[in-house]
Amino acid sequence: MSELFELGRGILEAQPFSVLLGTELASFEPGSAVLALAVRDELRQQHGFVHGGVVSYLADNALTYAGGSVLGDSVTSEYKINYLRPAVGERLEARARVVSSGKKQAVCSCEVFAISEEGERMVAVAQGTISKVDG
């Protein structure tokens, strides 16, 4: 396991909200990150689908990780997400990558997939700006 991955896993474990949701770091390399989440009933909305807020949280966090992989300690400044279809499945994966980066900011994109026994379907796509935390 790489040093970067260990660092990333430590940050995730230090986020109480990510612990509450059960988020796992599936991959973390320079320029990309994958966050995964086992779907359980507590994460759903009124129609039985995974709540959009969960999908959005996972995309946001994966964007920060991707940006952070090249910038160091970082936050999401802004992002935009398009929901493509209801999130149905046993597991979500948010796969983010750096599109372009400078010294202080990175623009990243992210695809979120819902995974079930029948395969995986993209359920959302996001794009945003990650900013290095000063100091």
DSSP letter for 81, please.
Answer: E
Kindly state whether residue 57 participates in binding a copy of itself, applying the rule CB under 8 A: yes
Residue whose pair of structure tokens reads 């990650």 in the numeric block: 130
Site string for a copy of itself, 16-55 (x = CB under 8 A): xxxxx--------------------xxxxxx----xxxx-
Q: Can you say whether the dihedral through the CA atoms of 131, 96, 109, 114 is positive or negative?
A: negative
Interaction with a copy of itself in 99-118: which residues (CB under 8 A)? Answer: 99-100, 105, 107, 109
Q: What is the C-alpha radius of gyration for the chain, rounded to an integer number of angstroms?
A: 14
One-letter amino acid for residue 34 of the chain = V
Rounded-to-integer distance, Cα 108 and Cα 65, Å: 10
Kindly state whether residue 1 participates in binding a copy of itself, applying the rule CB under 8 A: no
Kindly state whether residue 88 participates in binding a copy of itself, applying the rule CB under 8 A: no
Kindly state whether residue 60 participates in binding a copy of itself, applying the rule CB under 8 A: yes
Rounded-to-integer distance, Cα 90 and Cα 115, Å: 6
Residues 6+ apart with CB under 8 A from 72: 132, 133
Report, in Å, the least distance between residue 131 CB and a copy of itself. Answer: 9
Q: Which is nearer to a copy of itself, 27 or 105 (CB)?
A: 105
Binding site for a copy of itself (CB under 8 A): 11, 14-20, 41-46, 51-54, 56-58, 60-61, 64, 75-85, 99-100, 105, 107, 109, 122, 125, 127-129
